[in-house]
Amino acid sequence: MAHWNRMPPPLAEYPKCRIVGGLIIDEKGSQWLDIVCKSCPKEKAAIRRVSYCRAFVRAGGYRCKSCANRESSTTHGMSYTPEYNGWRNAKGRAKRDPAYIAKGRKYDEKNLGKFEQFYEVMGDRPEGKPTVERIDNDQGYVMIERPDGTVKPNIMWASYKEQANNTSTNIPVEIDNVTYTLTQAAEKFGVSPDAFRRQLIVNKLTIEEALKRIRTGDRSRTRPMKGRTAVPHHKDGSLNVEEACRRAEVSCRKVQYFMKKGLAFDAAVERVKNPPVTIVELAGRHGLTTGGIQHHMRKGLTPEEAVERMLHPPETIIELAARHGLTVASVMGHLKRGKTREQAVDYLVKKRDKQQGTII
């Protein structure tokens, strides 16, 4: 009579592992097998001894712990790939960005909520297109239903340049009944986008006039300067500042700087042509320190007075007291009472002479 729990002989190979050697039976009658995990690389595969039981047969063998845990925790196996990062960033932006929330740009959780759904729609990320772009900028990351009943995605892989050309802050330019962004139009005509924008927006020119000015290198102003930078009092009343500075052979930027400070045009030109001596130059000319001149200027002296004060400093109280044979404390005491130096010295000298009997 056969035993009800008798196990069949082990196979040489199972779906999850490979058998090394034969069946091992210990002194207690337990059956063991030495196995090697099939999922491990050959150079890292290690032999493990496991119990040969019905659970082993039903499971198709055992994998090692690392391979078993990796298999159980893996859903799609594409975490941290560019496609996964694009899906995660788009989903997070629609849920957390205040601008997206305020404009109602939602994420389609029904059709794109899982990464597998997103990947089925988008596919692999093309080279040079690292971002997820919304085709219709007024809608979110959703699937749009067409009139014929089919559904198309409102998302695609795009480059940073394509993203920049599909923002709500772009300025539309219509050329031959086709709408371009200002940057696209500048690239179409082969000119600088910044120069093209300046001529259209700041100078308010037409496209033809803007292209003509850019290509001919015309930098003259198309409208008179306003405020303090205008030159109504100049001999040439219609002359703008740039042309006037060019004729005067001075820096236009420096002239405009002094005009913003409140100087008239002629005074600003004179200031640029004959700049005043700086404190550094004044100090170097007389062999003084810049800090010393600034110290006296903070007390209300002009630079010239400060230099004179440093070159010919007044007599100190110590020197004054020593010259007349007085104490510094006595002189300071009378100065604190409101007397001048001469009055204090005169009073103290007379008092001393009287005490010594020199004055009768």
**pLDDT of the residue at 74:** 58
Residue 2 lies in a domain: no
Residue 9 lies in a domain: no
The pLDDT of 193-207, averaged and rounded, is 85
Domain boundary among 147, 164, 181: 164
Q: Could you tell me the two tokens for 38?
A: 């099939």
3-state helix, strand, coil in the chain (%, to 5): 45, 15, 40
Residues 25 and 52 occupy one common structural domain: yes
Residues 67 and 44 occupy one common structural domain: yes
**pLDDT of the residue at 231:** 44
Residues 103 and 153 occupy one common structural domain: yes
Q: Tell me which H or E stretch contains 269.
A: helix 265-273
For 77-86, b/e burial (b = at least 16 CB within 10 A) is: eeeeeebbeb
**pLDDT of the residue at 235:** 45
Residue 285 lies in a domain: yes
The yes-or-no verdict on residue 248 having pLDDT over 60 is: yes
Q: How many domains does the chain have?
A: 6
**pLDDT of the residue at 81:** 87
Domain boundary among 164, 190, 207: 164
Residues 177 and 212 occupy one common structural domain: yes
The yes-or-no verdict on residue 293 having pLDDT over 50 is: yes
Residues 86 and 156 occupy one common structural domain: yes
Among 91, 81, 69, 183, which Cα is nearest to 140's?
91
Structural domain including 248 reads 227-273
Residue 30 lies in a domain: yes
Count of C-beta atoms within a 10 Å radius of residue 101? 12
Domain boundary among 164, 184, 207: 164
Whether residue 321 contacts residue 327, with contact meaning beta carbons closer than 8 Å, is answered with yes
Residue 59 lies in a domain: yes
SS3 7: coil
Residue 5 lies in a domain: no
State how far Cα 279 lies from the chain centre. 38
Residues 146 and 113 occupy one common structural domain: yes
**pLDDT of the residue at 239:** 54
Residues 250 and 324 occupy one common structural domain: no
Query: Rounded to a whole number, what is the largest CA-CA distance in the chain?
Result: 158
The pLDDT of 257-277, averaged and rounded, is 86
Kindly state the percentage of the chain with pLDDT values over 90. Answer: 5
Phi, psi of 316 (to 5 degrees): -80, 165
Residue 69 lies in a domain: yes
Residue 1 lies in a domain: no
Phi, psi of 209 (to 5 degrees): -65, -40
More confident residue, 341 or 231: 341
Count the alpha carbons within 13 Å of 47 in the hemisphere toward its beta carbon.
6
Model confidence at 5, pLDDT cuts 50, 70, 90, reads: low
Residues 145 and 102 occupy one common structural domain: yes
Q: Which segment of 119-123, 149-153, 213-217, 228-232 scores lowest on mean pLDDT?
A: 228-232
Residues 55 and 92 occupy one common structural domain: no
